[in-house]
Structure 1
């Protein structure tokens, strides 16, 4: 039955009066009969226009929000509020907002009841239009949800929240988090004990302990969260601030707890702290305290759990960033810092900071390690620590490969790298490489690792990370042998064997004794690494030492037939020239008495060995002297040069440097430097420029006996590496001359190939790269010993 316009007007008047009865709009709303409201609503529903009630009400509420509630609410946040007032401020503002909006909440429930009536099945007599309306209303959004969307849009417009509002909200939640942690940890009680005579401030609210506001702030905290939750504004109002506060808290806590300490594992402690303190506070923000109505809300619990997973990621990320900044120091302190490495490895598996770690560590190495101010030995020590630490951090070896490649390239540019490595291998005080040598594993060179992977352990195999170099096999990366990695810096065993020969020769000739037990032990360990063939020359060198001991014993026993007596006792180190490295060649003319004793020793040796003789190196060795002066005796061990200088002062007490230089065949500059030692010992005095006299009596007239050992003589007995290489290249030159004499012209590649077959055999020559050979041949062209034309080399014709 159709209703008249008067009936529609009366019904709408009843609805409008009832739903406009907000106490904010009408402090004394008229009493409306429920029966009248129900009849009015049924009238509109029966005529298919019941849905306009909700639309009208939400429009009215929206206008009230826009004109009155939102401006008043945002006006409170026009400026920053001090921290000691923020609790009361937030309590007042949110309570007023809740009071304004809560008046609409009962009406929204009534609207949902009306919507339920609209959604009931229509009688069969209704036309098709009403059926379509019914199907559309089935999926309508509840009025409360629509209202909450309006609250958010009007009060907290997205991307337009005032900066001061965000700052005050963050200040409030930062304060309540601190208070929450303080009350949990019972810091207030601890601070109050036995300190009644002092003014103590609470660590939570920062007030005097007699006027602590922590419990009040916690009450305000729960009240504000509950009111915002009921209005549907909690996430929009507090979400960003809560996230920021938690981020800041995690970063501060991780920095304060872990920075600078690498010897303890902190990850499990941090996870416990996050679960009990941070997640506990977060749960109180979104779920309220236990017993609260929303505490068991499954939707809220799900949101907290999802948020918790992000917090754990943030914790791992923060810890990883802190450790990445400290990684250089962590590596230097390895193995004491292994707990920090293990924690970092766990975090890297859960974060996406691998590339940041690689970039940061490479930068740290280049700025703090790879520059001329750092000794090669220190670079090698750091490199070895890096190998060990990064093997723990990344067992695949990919991070080590990426990070340490600049270190390897830099070490190749240093002339003393090989010597430092070999010295460390055979130095008792250097435990890192000495321990590796004792392990006795064979060398694993890069070119030996390119074969097929060992699939015996295929069940435990896992692929390399995506940042791995595809040209290298995982087997070569995962090799934990440090010595192999050091040798692979150059990729040549011969280089290290030759350096060891030089080092061994230096040690034998500087110690001047026949005890080679330790050297034999090192040699046997090196054989396991480099092979016996490579170290055959070193075996001969040690055998020469043993033979020298035996020959000296036979000569000094005087049992040889035709034994030649020696005025000065001589003990010789008899060396097989072709097996020893090149010696440093210095000229020195020895005094006649010493020369006669050396000649007698040579005669005795020839008697013992038949067809062999000796070629003396007079500048090498050690001389034991007893110097008798008027008031004292001095016992001293010194070099032949020093001994020759002081022995000449037996002939006369005054010499010029030029006179000694002529008679000793030693350059003036070298001689002046050597004489400075005797000056420092008070035996010589420079009377005038380059003129020295012997001092027979000391100033105190004492009759002391001094035992002096010269420690300044650290110069190697071997030729420099440059001089040795030049000698090796001269050996190649003799082969090259022979080739070009027979074949007339040859290109560079052919010369290099033929040298590899005929000349590059054994430690006496070593290898020569094609670039080094080209440089050598170009130098010969400049010296006019070769002619280069048309891409081939030839010898110049005689007389040209």
Structure 2
């Protein structure tokens, strides 16, 4: 039960409140006036339909002192009547879903602004009520907007970017009034980002000849920045104010422009390298982009994946791999002069090239000018420089700089070297290249068959002089001896020919200075042996302290075969010449008799030599291992299918045909794999790739016969010289 003191306190508070509301007027006159003003104010602030007019403002002539309570009532009434706005939203979105017209979304935005202004309290109530109303309205609005609104809002922004002249100026103002500029700033920026991405990919994909970054920035200033002005530079009074307001967002858009162009060029990097130097513009753009965007790791991974898929596989020719490696070196030096990118990209290529058996020969062939099958690896403008080990620790470099932060623990920032020095560095020692140079030079010198060989020898001499700069005088000393032997051989041969003219023109070499040559114990029969003995006798008179040791398996012999009904001329290896010489004694020989007549010869090599004469129509294998000289030409009968041996072996095949068929059985697997994995190819390309196969020694003509037999069997098709595998 309340005490007297408590009742006294309650009475005092009541009297105080009544006096404040009654304003010391007589009776309850003041209280009645306040009540009337309260009712009129709340009725004026009550949310109404947007089409219903508001009551007159005269109700506020009497000051309202209970604003917090009035604000609470006002905000509650907004919540109670927000269903009116929801109904409008649903109608507009249903219309947009049906038509897809972004103007419907724009009309919805304008409608929402009408609702906002319709319910907004008058300014006389002060900023507090105004701010509370704005926050409440926007919060309610974003809570009731369905998911379908966001795609429509994004489409509206995109349409305004594509056709800015058709966009009403009040659209951005409406976004600001409703709070959408801040709420959906990411969506608006995303529209600009997507437009930049689409423009770059549509306009500059595959265009690498010129730099495009400056033109892209000009385009962005004209289109994207102008579109952003009403949103991000609102309130600016002059150009300087607008520039300052756009500085932050402009930097973000410029970053995205660089990132998009960098990603595009990264996806194209393998083809850009193939197209170098025509693609130098794209490389310079990529360098500038990567100074702003951290895409180095992505570039490394993209190029390594492309190399693995398109380059580092058995179907790629070694010369092609070397050419792409050289182009990679030049391109990545443009992007990253310090060499970190090159180090990380080149490592798998270098390891793969080390595993290829013909890598050294391909590099050396390019060095000595033997490889004419495409562009040279060496730039003619490059000055040859000596090969020297790099100063790994940089003790002798006055301009030494620390390694880049993304360099691996094994990276060494060596000075850029010429291309050949980089290729030679694939291997740990240059001695491998020196030995290969010696072998290749020996083969080239021994292949010179002209009687006057001076120009060709001089060409090799000039090549060796260039190689001396790279490898040093000492390394090329053996090559000097080989060149001297060629000059001496020509002089000796001239002296022998002056005394006793003969058709024999041997190349006389120093056994201790030339690379080891394959030996053979075959003996040239008949007239060949007599010619050799006569030449050796004349040589002994010229050089009595030396003697000749013939290598009859090397060289070429020009023959003229006079048969009863025809004459055949052929340039053949000595073994083929030795076999056909035996047929001058009698017309029919067995395989064993032929081998016995020339000395120990591998049966495979003997069959290959006899196939040469069979193909020329000089010999015929009547039965297995029995060969007959065809003095009179015979009309060829149906040729046994000796090229493709995937079908049933014919019992009527001769030994030579069986031998040929067995060889081609293995090579068909290579051809089948190439055509399936790499697509249609020309005969020359197939021949070039088959040379990588172990022990492949077929000529282009023999490969043509082989492929034609496969075509007859329905295994391949050919059109315009391009061979295609038949799908199973």
**Shared fold, TM over 0.5:** yes
Deviates more, 1:227-236 or 1:495-504: 227-236
Cα deviation for residue 609 of structure 1 reads 2.3
Rounded Cα–Cα distance in structure 2 between residues aligned with 1:143 and 1:597: 123
Aligned length: 608
Q: What SS does the aligned partner of 1:322 have? A: helix
- C-alpha distance after superposition, 1:58-81 (max 9, x if no partner): 734753575543565367447862
Cα deviation for residue 526 of structure 1 reads 0.8
Cα deviation for residue 359 of structure 1 reads 1.2
Deviates more, 1:8-17 or 1:350-359: 8-17
Cα deviation for residue 23 of structure 1 reads 7.6
Show the counterpart of 2:572: 638
Show the counterpart of 2:603: 668
Which of 233, 236, 240 is equivalent to 2:180? 233
Cα deviation for residue 145 of structure 1 reads 4.7
Which of 301, 305, 315 is equivalent to 1:363? 305
Show the counterpart of 2:156: 172
Cα deviation for residue 414 of structure 1 reads 1.4
Instruction: Describe the shift of the 1:59–1:480 C-alpha distance in structure 2 as closer, same or farther (beyond 3 A).
Output: farther
Rounded Cα–Cα distance in structure 2 between residues aligned with 1:432 and 1:110: 86
Q: What SS does the aligned partner of 1:511 have? A: coil
Show the counterpart of 2:661: none
Rounded Cα–Cα distance in structure 2 between residues aligned with 1:629 and 1:338: 64
Which of 488, 496, 513 is equivalent to 1:555? 496
Which has the bigger relative contact order, CA under 8 A and spacing at least 6?
A: 1
Q: TM-score, normalised by structure 1?
A: 0.70
1:425-440 to structure 2, matched below 5 A, reads 425-427=367-369, 429=372, 431-435=375-379, 439-440=383-384
Cα deviation for residue 105 of structure 1 reads 4.2
Which of 479, 484, 494 is equivalent to 2:431? 494
Q: TM-score, normalised by structure 2?
A: 0.76
Cα deviation for residue 324 of structure 1 reads 0.9
Cα deviation for residue 143 of structure 1 reads 5.4
Cα deviation for residue 497 of structure 1 reads 0.3
- Alignment RMSD: 3.3
Which of 606, 613, 622 is equivalent to 2:540? 606
Show the counterpart of 1:392: 334
Which of 232, 255, 258 is equivalent to 2:201? 255
Gaps of 5+ in 1: 45-49, 114-141, 184-214, 559-564, 701-711, 715-720, 723-800
Q: What SS does the aligned partner of 1:4 have? A: helix
1:460-609 to structure 2, matched below 5 A, reads 463-474=402-413, 476=414, 478-513=415-450, 514=453, 515-558=456-499, 565=500, 568-609=502-543
- C-alpha distance after superposition, 1:725-771 (max 9, x if no partner): xxxxxxxxxxxxxxxxxxxxxxxxxxxxxxxxxxxxxxxxxxxxxxx
Matched, 1:680 2:615: yes
Rounded Cα–Cα distance in structure 1 between residues aligned with 2:539 and 2:131: 112
Rounded Cα–Cα distance in structure 1 between residues aligned with 2:586 and 2:411: 72
Rounded Cα–Cα distance in structure 2 between residues aligned with 1:310 and 1:144: 34
- C-alpha distance after superposition, 1:32-66 (max 9, x if no partner): 548834xx25xx4xxxxx76378547734753575
Cα deviation for residue 628 of structure 1 reads 1.8
* Preserved CA contact (<8 Å) 1:70 1:154: no
Which of 35, 38, 44 is equivalent to 1:21? 44
Rounded Cα–Cα distance in structure 1 between residues aligned with 2:381 and 2:580: 45
Matched, 1:443 2:387: yes
Cα deviation for residue 231 of structure 1 reads 3.5
* Preserved CA contact (<8 Å) 2:591 2:625: yes
Cα deviation for residue 536 of structure 1 reads 0.7
1:697-736 to structure 2, matched below 5 A, reads 697-698=632-633
Rounded Cα–Cα distance in structure 1 between residues aligned with 2:593 and 2:74: 118
Cα deviation for residue 112 of structure 1 reads 3.3
* Preserved CA contact (<8 Å) 1:654 1:691: yes
* Preserved CA contact (<8 Å) 1:90 1:224: no
1:87-102 to structure 2, matched below 5 A, reads 87=103, 89-102=104-117
Rounded Cα–Cα distance in structure 1 between residues aligned with 2:159 and 2:176: 20
* Preserved CA contact (<8 Å) 2:233 2:245: no
1:406-417 to structure 2, matched below 5 A, reads 406-417=348-359
Gaps of 5+ in 2: 1-15, 24-29, 636-683, 688-693, 696-728
Instruction: Describe the shift of the 1:257–1:437 C-alpha distance in structure 2 as closer, same or farther (beyond 3 A).
Output: closer
Show the counterpart of 2:126: 112
* Preserved CA contact (<8 Å) 2:555 2:574: yes
Q: What SS does the aligned partner of 2:417 have? A: coil
Instruction: Describe the shift of the 1:418–1:696 C-alpha distance in structure 2 as closer, same or farther (beyond 3 A).
Output: same
Rounded Cα–Cα distance in structure 2 between residues aligned with 1:538 and 1:699: 50
Q: What SS does the aligned partner of 1:262 have? A: coil
* Preserved CA contact (<8 Å) 2:71 2:129: no
* Preserved CA contact (<8 Å) 1:545 1:573: yes
* Preserved CA contact (<8 Å) 1:287 1:296: no
1:733-748 to structure 2, matched below 5 A, reads none
- C-alpha distance after superposition, 1:208-263 (max 9, x if no partner): xxxxxxx4xx33xx333222223433332x42332232222222211111222322
Show the counterpart of 1:69: 85
Matched, 1:36 2:61: yes
- C-alpha distance after superposition, 1:307-350 (max 9, x if no partner): 22211111111111111111111111211111111111111111
Which of 259, 264, 281 is equivalent to 2:227? 281
Rounded Cα–Cα distance in structure 2 between residues aligned with 1:54 and 1:402: 71
Show the counterpart of 1:156: 142
Instruction: Describe the shift of the 1:412–1:58 C-alpha distance in structure 2 as closer, same or farther (beyond 3 A).
Output: farther
Q: What SS does the aligned partner of 1:387 have? A: helix
Instruction: Describe the shift of the 1:650–1:351 C-alpha distance in structure 2 as closer, same or farther (beyond 3 A).
Output: same
* Preserved CA contact (<8 Å) 2:378 2:419: no
Q: What SS does the aligned partner of 1:97 have? A: helix
Instruction: Describe the shift of the 1:83–1:512 C-alpha distance in structure 2 as closer, same or farther (beyond 3 A).
Output: farther
Rounded Cα–Cα distance in structure 2 between residues aligned with 1:345 and 1:689: 69
Which of 60, 63, 85 is equivalent to 2:101? 85
Rounded Cα–Cα distance in structure 1 between residues aligned with 2:590 and 2:130: 113
- C-alpha distance after superposition, 1:357-395 (max 9, x if no partner): 111111111122112222222211111111111111111
Cα deviation for residue 643 of structure 1 reads 1.3
Show the counterpart of 2:704: none
Rounded Cα–Cα distance in structure 2 between residues aligned with 1:161 and 1:520: 86
- C-alpha distance after superposition, 1:625-670 (max 9, x if no partner): 2222233333332211121122222111222222111111222221
- C-alpha distance after superposition, 1:9-41 (max 9, x if no partner): 54475366336524843956554548834xx25
Instruction: Describe the shift of the 1:530–1:252 C-alpha distance in structure 2 as closer, same or farther (beyond 3 A).
Output: same
Cα deviation for residue 686 of structure 1 reads 2.2
Rounded Cα–Cα distance in structure 1 between residues aligned with 2:81 and 2:156: 25
- C-alpha distance after superposition, 1:459-508 (max 9, x if no partner): xx6x543111344432x1x4132212211111201000001111111111
Find runs of 4+ consecutive structure 1 residues off by over 6 angstroms. Answer: 297-301
Instruction: Describe the shift of the 1:687–1:471 C-alpha distance in structure 2 as closer, same or farther (beyond 3 A).
Output: closer
Instruction: Describe the shift of the 1:266–1:437 C-alpha distance in structure 2 as closer, same or farther (beyond 3 A).
Output: closer
Q: What SS does the aligned partner of 1:167 have? A: helix
Matched, 1:244 2:244: no
Q: What SS does the aligned partner of 2:627 have? A: strand
Instruction: Describe the shift of the 1:695–1:296 C-alpha distance in structure 2 as closer, same or farther (beyond 3 A).
Output: same
* Preserved CA contact (<8 Å) 2:526 2:581: no
